[in-house]
Amino acid sequence: MTQPNNAQSENAPTSARAPWRLAILLAVAAAASGILLTGISAWFLGAVALAGLGPAALSFNFHMPAAFVRLFALTKTLGKYGERVVGHRAALLDQVKRRAALLAAMAQAPSTRAAGWQLGHQDRLSDYIDDVEDVDYARLRVAIPALVLIAGTGVLTVVTAWLTPLALLPIVVAVGAVLLTLRLSMRDLAARGATARSTQRNGGRLLGAALASAVPLKAGDDWSTALGTAFVQFERAESERLAQRKTFAVLDMLAGLAGPLAAIGVLVAAWHTGERGTGLLIAAFLAFAWLALAEAAQGMSRIVVGHIREKAARDGLSTWTATPAHDAEPTGSPLALQTLMLTQVPHQSPDGRKLGEPLTLALHAGKATVLTGASGTGKTTLLKQIAGWIVDEHHGRYTGNGVVLLGPCRRAASHLCLHDAAILSDTVRENLFAPEASDAQCWDALAAVEMQERIATAGGLDAWISQDTLSLGEAQRLNLARAWLSTAPLLLLDEPTEHLDGAQASRILARLLSQMADRIVIYSSHHADAADDTARIALGA
Amino acid sequence: MQTIAGDNSDRDAPRQLIEPAQSAKAEPTSPSPHTTAYKLARRLGAQALRMTLFLQSLRMVCRLGFAAALAVFAGEMIESGVFSWPAFAGALAGLILSSGTGYYADTQTARAEATLIGALRQRLETSLAAMPAARLATRPAGALIAGLQRHPPALAGLTISHAATQIMLALAPLAAAAAIAVVSWQAAITLLLAIPVMIGFFILLGSVVRDRARAQEVAFGRLAAQFADRIRALPTILANHALTHEHDKIERRMADYANSTMGVLKPAFLNAGIIDFFAALSIAVLAVFLGLGHLGLVHIPGFTGLMLWQSLFILIIAADFFTPFRRYAEQYHLKAEGEAAAKELDWYFAAADTANGPARFVPAGLDNFDPASLPRNGLIAISGPSGAGKSTMLRILGGIDAPLPTLPALTQIRHPIVRTGYDWISTGIYVPAGTLADAIGWRLGNPSPVAICAVAERVGLLNDNLLPGGLAARISDGGDNLSGGQRMRIGIARMLLSDRVVLADEPTAKLDPATARLVRDALEEAAKQRLVIVATHDDALIKAADRNVILRLATQDRAAA
């Protein structure tokens, strides 16, 4: 099997440059037109008002500025629309590439194969998707508006310095105040954001622990206390967010002051330098341009919010992908295994605590092995160790047909049937993960797990299913159908009979074991009763 | 392709289907915001909303004042060559006042939303506190937590920010038009005329957007959350060696979905484009008309004979006239998210109508189970096939689940036990993070360290080499690092520290034989001093019981009758 991408692809250029350039161009054109429209309108009104007072009224070239007004009005509208369309298209294109790369990178992360997939839980998954979206749209929400705002302020400041340098005083004060506030509060804002995130997550964890023990907690009248401790965390997160929003209000206020102050400043400065009448028209142009820029500055806090969220999101995502990647699995068809010897394999818990003496055992094709033991005795962990999902090359040796098999080899050779396997939102056929299997083979597999009728009435192999449309028992049976279709020489089934009732469980298990009769099969069960012709390994706590 | 509708044939498995949430999302019909949660939020936030509106209106008035003063200042300066100090002062004052009220309006909105979120969460907490365990179990914990984290802020955004914007959408343009009307009512009329035209476009475009969105939902709806779905299912994909296949498929589907999304976005952006267009057009038209008026070349009523400051005033306010429309359009997502959140929150607030678990069991042997006189001590075993309601009955006895109306006798049984308090023992007991000593002494009113040490020794937790550290052994959040056996031992240790009635739910299931024996012995021992009721299918425990209550499946009963 080849890996579609490796972790480095995250750093590879995933964005299409041309559409982004166009989007920036359109954004700048729209903003410039907006500023020029207001400016030229004011200049025009002043000019005609002065001309109208005297005989110049008749000779005034009316058409030129009027044409400019119309041109800017159109450019502003079209530019804005174009910016939105082009920008979103670019963002969506990037999104597809980024997310595909992210999926590949996350598949490489060891945490994916470790115990308890955090992103299998809705609350953590929602946070994660938020992070992904914050990064996806960062350019659109942060980079482009910030660029336009900075460019607009820069150009108008230069023009002001040239025409009415005195007016720089209020501008420098106002812009300086904005920048100073940003500088002073940025760290605090980011810290509050991080605290809000972690407290909210902490509250979610506490609530999760309480929900897992809801009945015992209710029995002891401690349910509401336990809820209280979780909700206090949510409340703390909210107060951090409120503090953030108060700072944003200050920022918006200062940013909103800058443009109008500049406008007044420009007029006063021009007057002060002795300009009168038509001499003031250029100043009026500039003053109203500043007023128009103030409109763009109203989104100041949104840009800052977007920036902070993007940073936090990148940090959040890197925790999933920053860990060193697994080795790629060897390609080519896996060897046919007859025996698998485990020598001194650590008996451990999911978090690596030692649960007992190291295990040494022999597994043979043709005779299934059942792992028994109470919950918490390391059955799942042992299966994952054998499957090469938990790899410790220094402790324990795995010998298949006399050859030492390292983690990647075992991963390639095994089919691990997880007890909490997920159902994809996809068709039944895709959910069977057997692209090479014929329809007949798929139906055989479904019949073996007694899902044939259920799927047939639902619309056959092309019926769309999801986690929510199947009950736990049905999901488990479909999961077993995947194992049925697997051609791997080493089959590892974790609690295959979970969520199934007794008689049906034994029927399905018997069929599965006979289907896999020529291969090495190990399955775990917390029931002591197992099929007769199986070897039994009991894991004690 | 068809979708499989839920068939929940598995009896014993706790159903993990998200019924209300999923059906709410799947419905393509336009959402009705009048849900319980929405009404509650409206009521709780009504006063704060009024305050927000007041401050926003105040900001609007100050802003109009600033515009007027600035127009007079610039106009007088250019046209009359006069530096108008009152206008200058007025402009500065208007600017500072409008910024100040703007700041207050923003912080007030933020505070109002935070308060509303707090109030909503408080109600949710109360509602959850009273929610029966059976109903809690109908939702996956993750979905429940995510809902509590996300929905209250979304609903608060809808009821404060969005509601304020919606009302200002009606007020602000009228106020702007009124201000312009003071200078030139004809100009005001010109602007107001733009509204019906704009609304006409909105309706036209709105239907296009809705049609396209519906078409997208039909054609691509299933591709909407494929990335999230694959991330959720990543371990399964890896276990089935399907990464390459899924990666390529997902990339293709995401690209398809992105394309179809653009199809919806384009007309949606036209909506915003129309506002921009009218804003730009009206400025252009007004500027040209006012210019012609100033030149005196053409006589247009309302546009001729104006002072420069009046024209400038119209120009500035005309831009403000369209701002509320733009703001409202920008907040579209607030509305959609808030309404979806309100709908989902209804689940949390819904009365416990369907809350009681399966009422299928028929208790037999209740005749020697006199509700009025439960024995002071002894071991009572509740047994029967799985699904017969052993745990349900134990929960009713403990007052955790509401008594079933079909079983009036039980309503009386639970009182003596609930009143005096009891120890609940199961593998699911709550274990706080901290040390082993904390876990054992939890909610037992500070038992002495000596006592804790003694009971820990008795249940074999002191010298458990799988939990090294003795009483100081670290226990992680929710007791994640404990095995079922260790948890059960902690439960027994707690029982040994108290002298209350014991209710034990399947205390020996899924345990290794040694721990199971220890638990059995401890329960039998305790039964000499106090009442111990166990729900179990452990034969050894049933044999040791002084009394047996055997439950049967309702269907079996009917078949027998």
What is the Cα–Cα distance from B339 to B344, expressed in whole angstroms?
Answer: 9
Kindly state the tokens that stand for A227: 């809820």
What is the Cα–Cα distance from A180 to A436, expressed in whole angstroms?
Answer: 63
Nearest to A257 among B15, B99, B141 (CB): B99
β-strand pairing of A339-348 with A354-364:
antiparallel
Asked if B262 lies within 8 A of A219 by C-beta distance, the reply is no
Nearest to B244 among A2, A66, A234 (CB): A2
Strand order across the beta sheet in which B531-535 lies: B362-364, B547-552, B378-383, B531-535, B501-505, B422-425
CA distance B228 to chain A (A): 7
Nearest to B106 among A85, A249, A468 (CB): A249
Task: For chain B, state the CA radius of gyration.
Answer: 35
CB atoms within 10 A of CB B195: 16
Asked whether the beta carbons of A483 and A490 are under 8 A apart, the reply is no
CA distance B287 to chain A (A): 6
Asked if A256 lies within 8 A of B99 by C-beta distance, the reply is yes
**pLDDT the model gives residue B389:** 73
- φ/ψ of residue B422, rounded to 5: -155, 165
- Asked if residue A324 has pLDDT above 90, the reply is no
**pLDDT the model gives residue B19:** 29
What is the Cα–Cα distance from B523 to B492, expressed in whole angstroms?
Answer: 8
Q: Across chain A, what does the average pLDDT equal? A: 88
> How far, in whole angstroms, is CA A391 from its chain's centroid?
27
What is the Cα–Cα distance from B91 to B310, expressed in whole angstroms?
Answer: 15
**pLDDT the model gives residue A236:** 96
Q: Is B464 helix (H, G, I), strand (E, B) or coil?
A: coil
**pLDDT the model gives residue B350:** 83
Asked if A46 lies within 8 A of B91 by C-beta distance, the reply is no
**pLDDT the model gives residue B132:** 83
Percent of chain A with pLDDT over 90: 62
* β-strand partners of A416: A492
CA distance A401 to chain B (A): 23
**pLDDT the model gives residue B416:** 62
**pLDDT the model gives residue B433:** 87
Within 8 A of A52 by CB-CB distance, chain B residues are 294-296
What is the Cα–Cα distance from B116 to B120, expressed in whole angstroms?
Answer: 6
- Asked if residue A298 has pLDDT above 60, the reply is yes
Nearest to B228 among A117, A129, A277 (CB): A129
Average pLDDT over residues A289-314: 92
Interacting residues of A28 by C-beta distance below 8 A, sequence separation 6+: A147, A148, A151
Task: Give one DSSP letter per residue of A213-235, joined into a string.
Answer: THHHHHHTT-HHHHHHHHHHHHH
pLDDT confidence bin for A185, thresholds 50/70/90: very high
**pLDDT the model gives residue B387:** 65
Asked if A99 lies within 8 A of B244 by C-beta distance, the reply is no
SS3 per residue for B299-350: CCCCCCCCCHHHHHHHHHHHHHHHHHHHHHHHCHHHHHHHHHHHHHHHHHHC
**pLDDT the model gives residue A60:** 81
Asked if A117 lies within 8 A of B250 by C-beta distance, the reply is no
Asked if A49 lies within 8 A of B511 by C-beta distance, the reply is no
What is the Cα–Cα distance from A505 to A248, expressed in whole angstroms?
Answer: 59
CA distance B364 to chain A (A): 24
Q: How far is CA A101 from CA A97, A145, B245, in A?
A: 6, 27, 14
CA distance A254 to chain B (A): 8
- Asked if residue A535 has pLDDT above 80, the reply is no
Average pLDDT over residues B21-48: 68
* β-strand partners of A340: A363, A400
Kindly state the tokens that stand for B124: 């949710």
Asked if A211 lies within 8 A of B136 by C-beta distance, the reply is yes
Kindly state the tokens that stand for A407: 């983690």
Cα maximum dimension of chain A: 115
Q: Is A24 helix (H, G, I), strand (E, B) or coil?
A: helix
CA distance A307 to chain B (A): 19
**pLDDT the model gives residue B484:** 80
* Secondary-structure percent of chain A, ordered helix, strand, coil, rounded to 5: 65, 10, 25
**pLDDT the model gives residue B554:** 55
Closest to A30 measured CA to CA, from A134, A151, A119 = A151
How many residues can be counted in chain A?
541
CA angle, corner A236, sides to A231 and A240, nearest 5? 145
Kindly state the tokens that stand for B302: 């309302």
A-B Cβ pairs (cutoff 8 Å, strict)? 467
Most confidently modeled range among A191-200, A364-373, B130-139, B450-459:
A191-200
Please identify which residue in the block is written with the tokens 């044999």. B543
Q: Is B366 helix (H, G, I), strand (E, B) or coil?
A: helix
Question: Could you read off the pLDDT of B256-302 as tens digits, one per residue?
Answer: 999 988 988 888 888 888 888 988 888 888 998 898 888 887 788 88
* β-strand partners of A356: A347
CB atoms within 10 A of CB A386: 24
Q: On the CB side of A172, how many CA atoms lie within 13 Å of its CA?
A: 8
Where helices occur in B28-162 by DSSP H, the ranges are 36-75, 85-130, 133-136, 141-157
Within 8 A of A424 by CB-CB distance, chain B residues are 229-230, 233, 236-237, 246
**pLDDT the model gives residue B213:** 85
- Asked if residue A499 has pLDDT above 80, the reply is yes
What is the Cα–Cα distance from B203 to B418, expressed in whole angstroms?
Answer: 61
CB atoms within 10 A of CB B510: 18
Asked whether the beta carbons of A414 and A389 are under 8 A apart, the reply is no
Helix or strand holding residue A22 (H, E): helix A17-53
Asked if B10 lies within 8 A of A473 by C-beta distance, the reply is yes
Percent of chain B with pLDDT over 70: 84
Asked if B483 lies within 8 A of A374 by C-beta distance, the reply is yes
Asked whether the beta carbons of B17 and A468 are under 8 A apart, the reply is yes
- Classify residue B442 as exposed, middle or buried by CB count within 10 Å of its CB (0-12, 13-18, 19+): middle
Q: For the ranges A519-523, B398-402, B441-445, which has the lowest average pLDDT?
A: B398-402
Asked if A234 lies within 8 A of B287 by C-beta distance, the reply is no
- Asked if residue B365 has pLDDT above 80, the reply is no
Closest to A37 measured CA to CA, from A59, A82, A8, A67 = A67
Domain positions in chain A = 7-108+116-186+259-321, 339-538
Q: How far is CA B465 from CA A352, A374, B133, B473, B479, in A?
A: 14, 17, 35, 11, 17
Asked if B269 lies within 8 A of A85 by C-beta distance, the reply is yes
- Asked if residue A109 has pLDDT above 60, the reply is yes
CA distance A456 to chain B (A): 10
ipTM of the complex: 0.91
Asked if A107 lies within 8 A of B237 by C-beta distance, the reply is yes
**pLDDT the model gives residue B305:** 84
What is the Cα–Cα distance from B450 to B469, expressed in whole angstroms?
Answer: 16
Within 8 A of B295 by CB-CB distance, chain A residues are 48, 51-52, 57, 60, 62
Nearest to B428 among A213, A415, A463 (CB): A213
B19, B66, B151, B232: which to substitute to probe chain A, counting the most A Cβ within 10 Å?
Answer: B232
Average pLDDT over residues B487-496: 91
Closest chain B residue to A54 measured between Cα atoms?
A: B295
Bigger pLDDT: B530 vs B354: B530
Bigger pLDDT: B443 vs B529: B529
β-strand pairing of B434-435 with B474-475:
antiparallel
Closest chain B residue to A44 measured between Cα atoms?
A: B291
Core vs surface per residue A147-164: b (16+ CB within 10 A) or e? bbbeebbeebbebbeebb
Asked whether the beta carbons of B319 and A38 are under 8 A apart, the reply is yes
Q: Across chain B, what does the average pLDDT equal? A: 83
Nearest to A103 among B250, B297, B319 (CB): B250
Closest chain A residue to B117 measured between Cα atoms?
A: A238
Give CA torsion, residues A247, A249, A255, A260, to 10 deg: -150
What is the Cα–Cα distance from A499 to A476, expressed in whole angstroms?
Answer: 7
A10, A68, A75, A96: which to substitute to probe chain B, counting the most B Cβ within 10 Å?
Answer: A96
Asked if A430 lies within 8 A of B226 by C-beta distance, the reply is no
Kindly state the tokens that stand for B222: 């299933």
Task: Give one DSSP letter per residue of A416-476, joined into a string.
Answer: EE-TTPPPPSEEHHHHTT-TT--HHHHHHHHHHTT-HHHHHHHTGGG-EE-GGGS-HHHHH
Nearest to B398 among A132, A219, A288 (CB): A219
Nearest to A471 among B8, B118, B281 (CB): B8
Nearest to A472 among B16, B118, B237 (CB): B16
Closest chain B residue to A264 measured between Cα atoms?
A: B70
Asked if A422 lies within 8 A of B277 by C-beta distance, the reply is no
**pLDDT the model gives residue B24:** 35
Q: Is B454 helix (H, G, I), strand (E, B) or coil?
A: helix
* Secondary-structure percent of chain B, ordered helix, strand, coil, rounded to 5: 70, 5, 25
Closest chain A residue to B494 measured between Cα atoms?
A: A220
The third-level CATH classification (topology) of the domain covering A339-538 is Rossmann fold (3.40.50)
**pLDDT the model gives residue B406:** 56
Asked whether the beta carbons of B198 and B326 are under 8 A apart, the reply is no
Closest to B148 measured CA to CA, from A438, A203, A183, A265 = A203
Most confidently modeled range among A218-227, B65-74, B548-557:
B65-74
Using the 8-state DSSP alphabet, how is residue B3 labeled?
B
CA angle, corner A395, sides to A392 and A398, nearest 5? 85
Asked whether the beta carbons of B40 and B120 are under 8 A apart, the reply is yes
Bigger pLDDT: A299 vs B405: A299
What is the Cα–Cα distance from A254 to A242, expressed in whole angstroms?
Answer: 19
- Asked if residue B157 has pLDDT above 60, the reply is yes
What is the Cα–Cα distance from B41 to B36, expressed in whole angstroms?
Answer: 9
Asked if A374 lies within 8 A of B70 by C-beta distance, the reply is no
Predicted model pTM: 0.88
Asked if B258 lies within 8 A of A93 by C-beta distance, the reply is yes
Nearest to B265 among A88, A277, A349 (CB): A88
Most confidently modeled range among A63-77, A499-513, B259-273:
A63-77
Closest to A6 measured CA to CA, from B229, B230, B247 = B247
Asked whether the beta carbons of B538 and B524 are under 8 A apart, the reply is no
Average pLDDT over residues A118-136: 91
Interacting residues of B364 by C-beta distance below 8 A, sequence separation 6+: B549, B550, B551, B552
Nearest to B288 among A53, A66, A464 (CB): A66
Asked if B143 lies within 8 A of A264 by C-beta distance, the reply is no
A26, A88, A215: which to substitute to probe chain B, counting the most B Cβ within 10 Å?
Answer: A215
Asked whether the beta carbons of A466 and A435 are under 8 A apart, the reply is no
Average pLDDT over residues A277-289: 93
Q: How far is CA A386 from CA A121, A411, B161, B437, in A?
A: 26, 8, 56, 36
B240, B308, B344, B495: which to substitute to probe chain A, counting the most A Cβ within 10 Å?
Answer: B240
CA distance A380 to chain B (A): 13
Within 8 A of B323 by CB-CB distance, chain A residues are 295
Within 8 A of A1 by CB-CB distance, chain B residues are 241, 243-244
Asked if A463 lies within 8 A of B78 by C-beta distance, the reply is no
> How far, in whole angstroms, is CA A90 from its chain's centroid?
18
Domains observed in chain B: 18-173+331-353 (no CATH), 185-305 (no CATH), 362-421+500-560 (3.40.50.300)
Q: On the CB side of B276, how many CA atoms lie within 13 Å of its CA?
A: 25
pLDDT confidence bin for B16, thresholds 50/70/90: very low
Which residue type sits at A112?
T
